[in-house]
Amino acid sequence: LAEYQTISWEAGRLRMLDQRLLPAETVYQYYTRPEEIAGAIRDMVIRGAPAIGAAAAFGLALAAERSPAQDRDGLITDLEQAARLLRAARPTAVNLSWALDRVMNKVKSVPADEPDQIRVAVLEEAQAIAAEDVAVNRQIGLNGVPLVPDGARIIHHCNTGSLATVDYGTALGVIRAAYENGKNLHVFVDETRPRLQGARLTSWELKRLNIPHSVVVDGSSGYLMSRVGVDLCIVGADRVASNGDTANKIGTYNLALVAYAHGVPFYVACPTSTIDLSIKSGDEIEIEQRPADEVTFLGEVQLTPDGVSASNPAFDITPARYITAIITERGIAYPPYEESLASLL
Ligand code: MRU
Protein backbone atom coordinates (compact mmCIF):
# COMPACT_ATOMS: atom_id res chain seq x y z
CA LEU A 1 0.00 0.00 0.00
CA ALA A 2 0.98 3.62 -0.43
CA GLU A 3 3.44 5.21 1.98
CA TYR A 4 1.22 8.29 2.01
CA GLN A 5 -2.29 8.07 3.42
CA THR A 6 -5.13 9.81 1.63
CA ILE A 7 -7.38 9.64 4.69
CA SER A 8 -6.91 8.32 8.21
CA TRP A 9 -8.54 8.58 11.63
CA GLU A 10 -6.17 9.72 14.35
CA ALA A 11 -7.40 9.94 17.95
CA GLY A 12 -10.58 11.88 17.36
CA ARG A 13 -9.37 13.80 14.33
CA LEU A 14 -9.59 13.10 10.63
CA ARG A 15 -6.34 13.52 8.74
CA MET A 16 -6.42 14.05 4.99
CA LEU A 17 -3.67 14.60 2.45
CA ASP A 18 -4.30 18.00 0.83
CA GLN A 19 -4.60 17.07 -2.86
CA ARG A 20 -4.81 20.71 -3.93
CA LEU A 21 -1.11 21.09 -3.14
CA LEU A 22 0.25 17.97 -4.87
CA PRO A 23 2.69 17.34 -6.42
CA ALA A 24 4.60 20.38 -5.08
CA GLU A 25 3.88 19.79 -1.39
CA THR A 26 2.78 16.85 0.75
CA VAL A 27 0.71 18.48 3.47
CA TYR A 28 -1.75 16.78 5.81
CA GLN A 29 -4.76 18.70 7.14
CA TYR A 30 -6.55 17.78 10.38
CA TYR A 31 -10.27 18.14 10.92
CA THR A 32 -12.50 17.92 13.96
CA ARG A 33 -15.89 19.20 12.72
CA PRO A 34 -18.32 17.78 10.13
CA GLU A 35 -18.77 21.18 8.46
CA GLU A 36 -15.00 21.30 7.88
CA ILE A 37 -15.20 17.92 6.16
CA ALA A 38 -18.02 19.19 3.91
CA GLY A 39 -15.81 22.18 3.05
CA ALA A 40 -12.78 19.98 2.34
CA ILE A 41 -14.87 17.82 -0.02
CA ARG A 42 -16.25 20.87 -1.83
CA ASP A 43 -12.80 22.49 -2.11
CA MET A 44 -11.27 19.17 -3.23
CA VAL A 45 -8.74 18.71 -0.46
CA ILE A 46 -10.01 15.18 -0.93
CA ARG A 47 -11.69 14.02 -4.14
CA GLY A 48 -12.53 10.84 -6.03
CA ALA A 49 -15.82 9.04 -5.43
CA PRO A 50 -14.76 6.36 -2.89
CA ALA A 51 -12.50 8.78 -0.99
CA ILE A 52 -15.24 11.37 -0.49
CA GLY A 53 -17.59 8.59 0.66
CA ALA A 54 -15.13 7.57 3.37
CA ALA A 55 -14.52 11.22 4.33
CA ALA A 56 -18.27 11.79 4.72
CA ALA A 57 -18.60 8.70 6.93
CA PHE A 58 -15.83 10.01 9.19
CA GLY A 59 -17.59 13.39 9.10
CA LEU A 60 -20.51 11.69 10.84
CA ALA A 61 -18.12 10.21 13.41
CA LEU A 62 -16.93 13.77 14.15
CA ALA A 63 -20.55 14.94 14.37
CA ALA A 64 -21.32 12.13 16.84
CA GLU A 65 -18.32 12.99 18.95
CA ARG A 66 -19.14 16.69 19.11
CA SER A 67 -22.87 16.34 19.66
CA PRO A 68 -23.82 17.27 23.25
CA ALA A 69 -26.98 15.12 23.00
CA GLN A 70 -27.70 13.02 26.09
CA ASP A 71 -30.29 10.79 24.48
CA ARG A 72 -30.66 8.67 21.38
CA ASP A 73 -33.19 10.89 19.58
CA GLY A 74 -31.13 14.04 20.15
CA LEU A 75 -28.02 12.39 18.81
CA ILE A 76 -29.81 11.02 15.74
CA THR A 77 -31.20 14.50 15.01
CA ASP A 78 -27.68 15.97 15.17
CA LEU A 79 -26.34 13.21 12.91
CA GLU A 80 -29.12 13.74 10.39
CA GLN A 81 -28.29 17.43 10.24
CA ALA A 82 -24.60 16.67 9.66
CA ALA A 83 -25.52 14.10 6.99
CA ARG A 84 -27.55 16.74 5.09
CA LEU A 85 -24.59 19.10 5.15
CA LEU A 86 -22.14 16.44 3.97
CA ARG A 87 -24.49 15.11 1.28
CA ALA A 88 -24.77 18.56 -0.27
CA ALA A 89 -20.99 18.98 -0.60
CA ARG A 90 -20.80 17.37 -4.07
CA PRO A 91 -23.82 15.96 -5.94
CA THR A 92 -22.56 13.57 -8.64
CA ALA A 93 -20.62 10.77 -6.90
CA VAL A 94 -23.17 8.39 -5.37
CA ASN A 95 -20.54 6.99 -2.97
CA LEU A 96 -21.05 10.08 -0.82
CA SER A 97 -24.76 9.35 -0.24
CA TRP A 98 -24.09 5.63 -0.12
CA ALA A 99 -21.63 6.01 2.78
CA LEU A 100 -23.87 8.43 4.69
CA ASP A 101 -26.90 6.14 4.29
CA ARG A 102 -24.87 3.15 5.40
CA VAL A 103 -23.75 4.88 8.62
CA MET A 104 -27.25 6.25 9.35
CA ASN A 105 -28.81 2.81 8.82
CA LYS A 106 -26.28 1.37 11.22
CA VAL A 107 -27.10 4.05 13.80
CA LYS A 108 -30.81 3.30 13.57
CA SER A 109 -30.19 -0.42 13.99
CA VAL A 110 -28.16 -0.04 17.22
CA PRO A 111 -30.46 -1.48 19.90
CA ALA A 112 -28.98 0.58 22.72
CA ASP A 113 -30.51 3.81 24.04
CA GLU A 114 -27.13 4.84 25.35
CA PRO A 115 -25.81 7.65 23.06
CA ASP A 116 -22.19 6.69 23.70
CA GLN A 117 -22.83 3.26 22.24
CA ILE A 118 -24.22 4.94 19.14
CA ARG A 119 -21.12 7.16 18.98
CA VAL A 120 -18.95 4.04 19.01
CA ALA A 121 -21.10 2.41 16.30
CA VAL A 122 -20.77 5.45 14.02
CA LEU A 123 -16.99 5.44 14.23
CA GLU A 124 -16.82 1.66 13.76
CA GLU A 125 -18.99 1.85 10.66
CA ALA A 126 -16.86 4.64 9.17
CA GLN A 127 -13.73 2.58 9.85
CA ALA A 128 -15.38 -0.47 8.26
CA ILE A 129 -16.22 1.54 5.13
CA ALA A 130 -12.60 2.68 4.89
CA ALA A 131 -11.14 -0.79 5.45
CA GLU A 132 -13.55 -2.45 3.00
CA ASP A 133 -12.70 0.11 0.33
CA VAL A 134 -9.08 -1.05 0.26
CA ALA A 135 -10.06 -4.74 0.04
CA VAL A 136 -12.66 -3.99 -2.65
CA ASN A 137 -10.13 -2.08 -4.74
CA ARG A 138 -7.59 -4.88 -4.58
CA GLN A 139 -10.26 -7.26 -5.85
CA ILE A 140 -11.28 -4.89 -8.67
CA GLY A 141 -7.61 -4.80 -9.64
CA LEU A 142 -7.31 -8.58 -9.71
CA ASN A 143 -10.58 -8.98 -11.62
CA GLY A 144 -9.34 -6.58 -14.26
CA VAL A 145 -5.92 -8.15 -14.87
CA PRO A 146 -7.10 -10.60 -17.60
CA LEU A 147 -8.43 -7.66 -19.64
CA VAL A 148 -4.98 -6.09 -19.90
CA PRO A 149 -2.83 -7.66 -22.61
CA ASP A 150 0.93 -7.85 -22.19
CA GLY A 151 2.52 -4.78 -23.74
CA ALA A 152 -0.74 -2.80 -23.41
CA ARG A 153 -0.82 0.89 -24.24
CA ILE A 154 -3.52 2.35 -22.06
CA ILE A 155 -5.30 5.71 -21.88
CA HIS A 156 -6.42 6.67 -18.37
CA HIS A 157 -8.50 9.74 -17.49
CA CYS A 158 -8.53 11.78 -14.26
CA ASN A 159 -7.19 10.15 -11.08
CA THR A 160 -8.56 6.86 -9.82
CA GLY A 161 -5.67 5.68 -7.66
CA SER A 162 -4.81 5.64 -3.96
CA LEU A 163 -5.62 9.34 -3.82
CA ALA A 164 -9.16 8.87 -5.15
CA THR A 165 -9.91 6.00 -2.76
CA VAL A 166 -8.84 5.01 0.74
CA ASP A 167 -5.97 3.13 -0.91
CA TYR A 168 -4.95 1.21 -4.05
CA GLY A 169 -7.45 2.68 -6.52
CA THR A 170 -10.01 1.42 -9.04
CA ALA A 171 -9.04 1.93 -12.70
CA LEU A 172 -5.50 2.71 -11.61
CA GLY A 173 -5.78 -0.35 -9.36
CA VAL A 174 -6.38 -2.52 -12.45
CA ILE A 175 -3.34 -0.95 -14.13
CA ARG A 176 -1.33 -1.47 -10.99
CA ALA A 177 -2.42 -5.09 -10.53
CA ALA A 178 -1.60 -5.85 -14.17
CA TYR A 179 1.85 -4.32 -13.72
CA GLU A 180 2.41 -6.15 -10.43
CA ASN A 181 1.42 -9.38 -12.22
CA GLY A 182 4.28 -8.93 -14.65
CA LYS A 183 2.55 -7.28 -17.62
CA ASN A 184 4.53 -4.73 -19.57
CA LEU A 185 2.51 -1.61 -20.13
CA HIS A 186 2.56 2.08 -20.86
CA VAL A 187 -0.04 4.50 -19.55
CA PHE A 188 -1.01 7.65 -21.42
CA VAL A 189 -2.13 9.89 -18.59
CA ASP A 190 -4.78 12.41 -19.67
CA GLU A 191 -3.83 15.65 -17.93
CA THR A 192 -7.56 16.20 -17.14
CA ARG A 193 -8.40 19.85 -17.39
CA PRO A 194 -9.31 21.97 -15.58
CA ARG A 195 -7.98 20.68 -12.24
CA LEU A 196 -5.27 18.48 -13.72
CA GLN A 197 -5.92 15.37 -11.65
CA GLY A 198 -4.03 13.36 -14.28
CA ALA A 199 -0.99 15.61 -14.64
CA ARG A 200 -0.69 16.36 -10.92
CA LEU A 201 -1.99 13.25 -9.15
CA THR A 202 -1.98 10.20 -11.44
CA SER A 203 1.57 10.87 -12.61
CA TRP A 204 2.59 11.35 -8.95
CA GLU A 205 1.20 7.92 -8.10
CA LEU A 206 2.53 6.13 -11.20
CA LYS A 207 5.98 7.62 -10.67
CA ARG A 208 6.08 6.20 -7.14
CA LEU A 209 5.00 2.81 -8.46
CA ASN A 210 7.60 2.92 -11.26
CA ILE A 211 4.88 2.27 -13.85
CA PRO A 212 5.90 3.60 -17.29
CA HIS A 213 3.71 6.50 -18.33
CA SER A 214 3.57 9.80 -20.17
CA VAL A 215 1.23 12.72 -19.59
CA VAL A 216 -0.80 13.73 -22.64
CA VAL A 217 -3.26 16.56 -23.23
CA ASP A 218 -6.93 15.59 -23.08
CA GLY A 219 -7.41 16.20 -26.80
CA SER A 220 -4.74 13.72 -27.89
CA SER A 221 -6.81 10.50 -27.88
CA GLY A 222 -7.60 10.68 -31.63
CA TYR A 223 -3.94 11.16 -32.47
CA LEU A 224 -2.85 8.37 -30.11
CA MET A 225 -5.36 5.85 -31.44
CA SER A 226 -4.80 6.60 -35.12
CA ARG A 227 -1.04 7.14 -35.14
CA VAL A 228 0.53 5.53 -32.10
CA GLY A 229 -1.72 2.63 -31.12
CA VAL A 230 -3.84 2.21 -28.03
CA ASP A 231 -4.98 -1.19 -26.72
CA LEU A 232 -7.52 -0.06 -24.17
CA CYS A 233 -8.92 2.85 -22.21
CA ILE A 234 -9.80 2.52 -18.54
CA VAL A 235 -11.53 5.06 -16.31
CA GLY A 236 -13.28 5.20 -12.94
CA ALA A 237 -16.86 6.26 -12.24
CA ASP A 238 -18.77 8.60 -9.98
CA ARG A 239 -22.16 6.98 -10.58
CA VAL A 240 -23.32 4.15 -12.82
CA ALA A 241 -27.04 3.94 -13.67
CA SER A 242 -28.98 0.63 -13.97
CA ASN A 243 -28.52 0.67 -17.75
CA GLY A 244 -24.73 1.16 -17.49
CA ASP A 245 -24.63 4.89 -18.36
CA THR A 246 -21.65 6.20 -16.43
CA ALA A 247 -20.91 9.60 -14.90
CA ASN A 248 -17.21 10.34 -14.69
CA LYS A 249 -14.81 13.27 -15.00
CA ILE A 250 -15.58 15.67 -17.85
CA GLY A 251 -13.93 14.41 -21.02
CA THR A 252 -14.63 10.75 -20.37
CA TYR A 253 -17.49 10.69 -22.90
CA ASN A 254 -15.27 12.23 -25.59
CA LEU A 255 -12.61 9.60 -24.91
CA ALA A 256 -15.20 6.81 -25.13
CA LEU A 257 -16.41 8.07 -28.51
CA VAL A 258 -12.91 8.15 -29.96
CA ALA A 259 -12.29 4.65 -28.59
CA TYR A 260 -15.54 3.41 -30.13
CA ALA A 261 -14.65 4.90 -33.51
CA HIS A 262 -11.30 3.08 -33.40
CA GLY A 263 -12.60 -0.23 -32.02
CA VAL A 264 -10.53 0.21 -28.85
CA PRO A 265 -12.02 -1.43 -25.71
CA PHE A 266 -13.30 1.10 -23.17
CA TYR A 267 -13.49 -0.15 -19.58
CA VAL A 268 -15.00 1.36 -16.45
CA ALA A 269 -13.66 0.13 -13.09
CA CYS A 270 -15.63 0.88 -9.93
CA PRO A 271 -16.83 -0.64 -6.67
CA THR A 272 -20.45 -1.83 -6.58
CA SER A 273 -21.09 1.09 -4.18
CA THR A 274 -20.82 3.36 -7.26
CA ILE A 275 -23.70 1.55 -9.00
CA ASP A 276 -27.02 3.31 -8.43
CA LEU A 277 -29.84 0.91 -9.27
CA SER A 278 -32.39 3.50 -8.11
CA ILE A 279 -31.98 5.33 -11.42
CA LYS A 280 -32.72 3.97 -14.88
CA SER A 281 -30.29 5.98 -16.97
CA GLY A 282 -27.66 8.68 -16.92
CA ASP A 283 -30.34 11.31 -17.65
CA GLU A 284 -31.21 11.21 -13.95
CA ILE A 285 -27.67 12.01 -12.75
CA GLU A 286 -27.05 15.53 -11.52
CA ILE A 287 -23.89 17.02 -13.00
CA GLU A 288 -21.93 19.21 -10.63
CA GLN A 289 -21.18 22.69 -11.98
CA ARG A 290 -17.98 24.11 -10.53
CA PRO A 291 -16.69 27.69 -10.36
CA ALA A 292 -15.68 29.35 -13.65
CA ASP A 293 -12.33 30.44 -12.26
CA GLU A 294 -11.15 26.81 -12.31
CA VAL A 295 -11.20 27.23 -16.11
CA THR A 296 -10.18 30.87 -16.49
CA PHE A 297 -7.25 30.67 -14.05
CA LEU A 298 -4.39 28.22 -13.67
CA GLY A 299 -3.36 28.77 -10.08
CA GLU A 300 -2.74 32.51 -9.84
CA VAL A 301 -2.36 32.96 -13.60
CA GLN A 302 -5.35 34.32 -15.50
CA LEU A 303 -5.69 32.49 -18.83
CA THR A 304 -8.55 34.40 -20.42
CA PRO A 305 -9.19 38.10 -21.04
CA ASP A 306 -10.85 40.05 -18.21
CA GLY A 307 -14.57 39.45 -17.93
CA VAL A 308 -14.74 36.35 -20.14
CA SER A 309 -17.17 33.78 -18.79
CA ALA A 310 -16.60 30.03 -18.66
CA SER A 311 -18.78 27.04 -17.99
CA ASN A 312 -17.33 24.27 -15.87
CA PRO A 313 -19.36 21.05 -15.69
CA ALA A 314 -17.22 18.65 -13.64
CA PHE A 315 -18.59 15.40 -15.08
CA ASP A 316 -20.20 13.96 -18.19
CA ILE A 317 -22.27 10.86 -18.91
CA THR A 318 -20.87 8.15 -21.15
CA PRO A 319 -23.78 6.21 -22.69
CA ALA A 320 -23.60 2.50 -21.90
CA ARG A 321 -23.33 1.52 -25.58
CA TYR A 322 -19.77 2.87 -25.67
CA ILE A 323 -18.65 0.89 -22.62
CA THR A 324 -17.09 -2.51 -23.30
CA ALA A 325 -17.33 -3.77 -19.71
CA ILE A 326 -17.66 -2.57 -16.10
CA ILE A 327 -15.13 -4.12 -13.73
CA THR A 328 -16.26 -4.42 -10.09
CA GLU A 329 -15.10 -6.31 -7.01
CA ARG A 330 -17.88 -8.85 -7.59
CA GLY A 331 -16.96 -9.56 -11.18
CA ILE A 332 -17.06 -8.04 -14.65
CA ALA A 333 -20.38 -6.83 -16.07
CA TYR A 334 -20.90 -6.94 -19.85
CA PRO A 335 -23.84 -5.59 -21.88
CA PRO A 336 -26.78 -5.73 -21.53
CA TYR A 337 -26.03 -3.94 -18.28
CA GLU A 338 -29.62 -3.91 -16.96
CA GLU A 339 -29.17 -7.62 -16.37
CA SER A 340 -25.46 -7.92 -15.62
CA LEU A 341 -25.34 -5.08 -13.09
CA ALA A 342 -28.50 -6.21 -11.29
CA SER A 343 -27.07 -9.72 -10.97
CA LEU A 344 -23.89 -8.37 -9.33
CA LEU A 345 -25.75 -6.46 -6.61
O1 MRU B 1 -13.71 15.75 -9.44
P2 MRU B 1 -13.00 14.52 -8.96
O3 MRU B 1 -11.52 14.62 -8.99
O4 MRU B 1 -13.55 14.05 -7.62
O5 MRU B 1 -13.42 13.41 -10.04
C6 MRU B 1 -12.96 12.11 -9.85
C7 MRU B 1 -13.34 11.18 -10.95
O8 MRU B 1 -14.02 11.54 -11.88
C9 MRU B 1 -12.92 9.76 -10.79
O10 MRU B 1 -12.73 9.18 -12.03
C11 MRU B 1 -14.00 8.97 -10.03
O12 MRU B 1 -14.36 9.63 -8.85
C13 MRU B 1 -13.56 7.59 -9.70
S14 MRU B 1 -12.23 7.61 -8.56
C15 MRU B 1 -11.85 6.01 -8.12
- Which ligand 1 atom sits nearest the alpha carbon of residue 270? 15
Q: Which range has the worst mean pLDDT, 113-117, 220-224, 247-251? A: 113-117
Among 87, 68, 88, 90, which residue's Cα sits nearest to residue 77? 68
CA distance 229 to 267: 17
Q: What is the mean pLDDT of the chain?
A: 97
Atom of ligand 1 nearest to the CA of 170: 15
Query: Which atom number of ligand 1 is nearest to the Cα of residue 165?
Result: 15
CA of 198 to the centre of ligand 1 (A): 10
Cα–ligand 1 centroid distance for 163 (angstroms): 10
66-90 in b/e form (b: 16+ CB < 10 A) is: ebebeebeebbebbeebbebbbebb
pLDDT (0 to 100) of residue 2: 65
**Pocket of ligand 1 contains residue 164 by CB under 6 Å:** yes
| Among 197, 218, 273, 328, residue to substitute to test ligand 1 (most atoms within 8 Å of Cβ) | 197
Q: Is the pLDDT of residue 40 over 80?
A: yes
Q: pTM of the prediction? A: 0.97
CA of 269 to the centre of ligand 1 (A): 11
Q: How confident is the model at residue 31 (pLDDT cuts 50, 70, 90)?
A: very high
Q: What amino acid positions are annotated as catalytic residues?
A: 238
